[in-house]
């Protein structure tokens, strides 16, 4: 199978160069074990140390699959009831105001109605305890991804076994799968054997490919939402277990429970117990994605074809390289196994916009104009004699690679199917010939809330709140935007969904400016930076 690996190498090396990423490791497995593995780029840029298949990475939320597998084993032993309330195992837990108790099943499927959760404290047991003070939506009704929910499951494992979570994971998962070099807790000792994780130089704005990388903030963790470090080959052993429908860890019934489509997570995507299911070209793929400061990961298994892959990155992943590499890898090795013609690596233009004509036109703002043209499949900003090609960052959001547009993406809005306006942070641009809604004045006290807020949070270090007529929007550094809905208690719901448990509250007003914002339990403080 040398030829598939050659084509895969061509594909990966081109993408690493295109996105200017440091390094990547990959492993391909069948039900019988490892088929191929490879490393690309650098594990440590300063020391010029290459990535190898044995290089260890932090795998982030793929660790949720390990937590779920441990709980399934405890369930098989009769030590855990997944239908029981969390308080049966953690009597000190309270889930905040809500109509019903939270069950382990709901935590495993992200339907407990809990907030996403941040690494707020040094001991995340407090983050779980603090949920008694946090709003939540009605459990069992909606999928809402929650890291803190899986931390609670990690503490259930500790209470039931009387052992630390990392020790249980090692005994129940790592040792039976011969993942001897993997760590179930990320510590300073782990760091000695880990690739260096990188993020973009600027943490307060949408990343550009020409931005430099710097080592990511370091954190130690040993919690059930993701605290494992492993090489691609080691994690391949877990993928092999999935291909063998749980053997040698789980009974067939337990495996089916883990991988069933218990709740719809997105279009053509479902979630079971710590395992996601996605339909790609009619094929059912199971696995999980992961992220840590400086690391991104993907584990995908095609149960029907008996093929799985692991992709590990030690850098950011704005272009979803991990998912793209995983998909191409499975296509390659499936074709090779079937004796079919191997797919050739594609060479997409990262600046291509399939529907560029939908956005082209003249847009008028309060102090400036935007002139956008659709040219040869690209969307181009014509400005002061320059022609700047925009980069699509999902749906109607675009990066403008120019310093005057550095802090925000250009986000277009539609009336039906027609694009009628664009927003860049607080600045509105109305398309010529369009008649978008008239903006009303915001509540007077909301002027105090607008600004830039920061925290010492390795996951989400900062965000901005901007006013857009009679509404406030929360804008994350990477460009995602969520509307804020005013609530009777003075807080704001974050997001479009009326059931969202995420909240933000502002306080400490000085000179008509709030100095602090609490986002779902984590305090952020106003910064003088724009």
Distance CA 80, CA 160 (A): 8
* In contact, 27 and 37? CB cutoff 8 Å: yes
Per-residue pLDDT of the chain (530 residues; tens, 9 = 90+): 458 999 999 999 999 999 999 999 999 999 999 999 999 999 999 999 999 999 999 999 999 999 999 999 999 999 999 999 999 999 998 876 666 789 999 999 999 999 998 766 667 888 898 888 888 999 999 999 999 999 999 999 999 999 999 999 999 999 999 999 999 999 999 999 999 999 999 999 999 999 999 999 999 999 999 999 999 999 999 999 999 999 999 999 999 999 999 999 999 999 999 999 998 888 899 999 999 999 999 999 999 999 999 999 999 998 899 999 999 999 999 999 999 999 999 888 999 999 999 999 999 999 899 999 999 999 999 998 899 999 999 899 999 999 999 999 999 999 999 999 999 999 999 999 998 888 888 888 899 999 999 998 888 899 999 999 989 999 999 999 999 999 999 999 999 999 999 999 999 999 999 999 999 989 999 998 88
| Fold of domain 69-161 | Methane Monooxygenase Hydroxylase; Chain G, domain 1 (1.20.58)
Return phi, psi of residue 322, to 5°.
Answer: -60, -45
Can you tell me whether residue 24 is helix, strand or coil?
Answer: strand
Same fold, 69-161 and 444-526: no
CB atoms within 10 A of CB 255: 24
Indicate the burial class of 516 (C-beta count within 10 angstroms; 0-12, 13-18, 19 or more). middle
* Domain 356-431 CATH assignment equals 2.40.128.50: yes
Can you tell me whether residue 189 is helix, strand or coil?
Answer: helix
Distance CA 447, CA 431 (A): 26
Residues 444-526, CATH architecture: Beta Barrel (2.40)
Q: What b/e string do you get for 283-294 counting C-beta neighbours within 10 Å, with b at 16 or more?
A: eebbbbbbbbbb
CATH of 2-61+182-203+212-338, one of 3.90.105.10, 3.40.710.10, 3.40.190.10, 3.40.50.2000: 3.40.710.10
Domain ranges within the chain, ordered by starting residue: 2-61+182-203+212-338, 69-161, 356-431, 444-526
Q: Is the pTM of this model over 0.85?
A: yes
What H or E segment, with its residue span, contains residue 318?
A: none
Distance CA 242, CA 300 (A): 10
């Amino acid at each position: 199978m040398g030829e598939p690996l050659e084509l895969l190498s061509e594909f990966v090396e081109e993408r690493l160069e295109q996105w200017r990423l440091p390094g990547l490791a990959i492993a391909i497995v069948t039900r019988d074990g490892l088929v191929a593995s490879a490393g690309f780029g650098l594990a440590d840029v300063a020391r010029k140390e290459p990535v190898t298949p044995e290089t260890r990475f932090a795998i982030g939320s793929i660790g949720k699959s390990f937590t779920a597998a441990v709980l399934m084993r405890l369930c098989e032993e009769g030590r855990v009831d997944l239908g029981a309330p969390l308080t049966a195992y953690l009597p000190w837990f309270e889930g905040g105001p809500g109509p019903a108790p939270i069950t382990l099943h709901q935590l495993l499927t992200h339907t407990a109605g809990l907030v996403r959760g941040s690494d707020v404290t040094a001991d995340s047991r407090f983050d779980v305890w603090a949920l008694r003070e946090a709003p939540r939506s009605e459990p069992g009704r909606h999928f809402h991804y929650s890291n803190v929910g899986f931390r609670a499951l990690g503490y259930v494992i500790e209470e039931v076994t009387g052992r630390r979570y990392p020790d249980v994971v090692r005994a129940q998962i790592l040792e039976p799968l011969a993942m001897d070099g993997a760590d179930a807790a990320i510590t300073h000792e782990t760091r000695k054997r880990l690739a260096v994780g990188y993020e973009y130089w600027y943490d307060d704005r949408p990343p550009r490919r020409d931005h430099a990388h710097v080592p990511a903030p370091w954190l130690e963790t040993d919690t059930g939402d993701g605290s494992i470090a492993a090489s691609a080959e080691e994690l391949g052993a877990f993928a092999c277990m999935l291909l063998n429908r749980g053997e040698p860890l789980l009974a067939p019934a337990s495996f089916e429970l883990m991988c069933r489509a218990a709740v719809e997570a997105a279009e053509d995507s479902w979630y079971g117990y710590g395992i996601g299911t996605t339909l790609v070209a009619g094929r059912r793929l199971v696995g999980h994605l992961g992220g840590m400061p400086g690391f991104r990961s993907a584990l995908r298994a095609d149960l029907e074809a008996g093929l799985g892959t692991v992709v590990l990155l030690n850098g950011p992943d704005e272009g979803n390289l991990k998912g793209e590499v995983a998909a191409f890898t499975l296509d390659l090795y499936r074709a090779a196994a079937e004796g079919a013609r191997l797919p050739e690596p594609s060479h997409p233009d990262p600046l291509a916009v399939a529907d560029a004509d939908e956005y082209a036109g003249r847009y008028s703002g309060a102090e400036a104009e935007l002139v956008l043209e659709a040219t040869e499949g690209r969307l181009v900003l014509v400005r002061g004699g320059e022609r700047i090609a925009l980069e699509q960052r999902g749906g109607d959001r675009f990066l403008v690679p120019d310093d005057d547009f550095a802090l925000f993406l250009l986000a277009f809005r539609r009336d039906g199917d027609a694009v009628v306006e664009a927003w860049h942070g607080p600045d509105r641009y109305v398309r010529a010939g369009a008649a978008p809604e008239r903006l009303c004045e915001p509540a007077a006290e909301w002027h105090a809330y607008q600004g830039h807020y920061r925290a010492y949070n390795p996951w989400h270090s900062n965000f901005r709140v901007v006013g857009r007529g009679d509404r406030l929007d929360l804008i994350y550094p990477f460009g995602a935007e969520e509307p804020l809905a005013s609530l009777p208690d003075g807080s704001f719901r974050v997001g479009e969904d009326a059931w969202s448990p995420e909240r933000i509250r502002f306080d400490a007003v000085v000179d008509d400016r709030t100095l602090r914002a609490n986002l779902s339990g984590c305090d952020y403080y106003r910064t003088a930076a724009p």
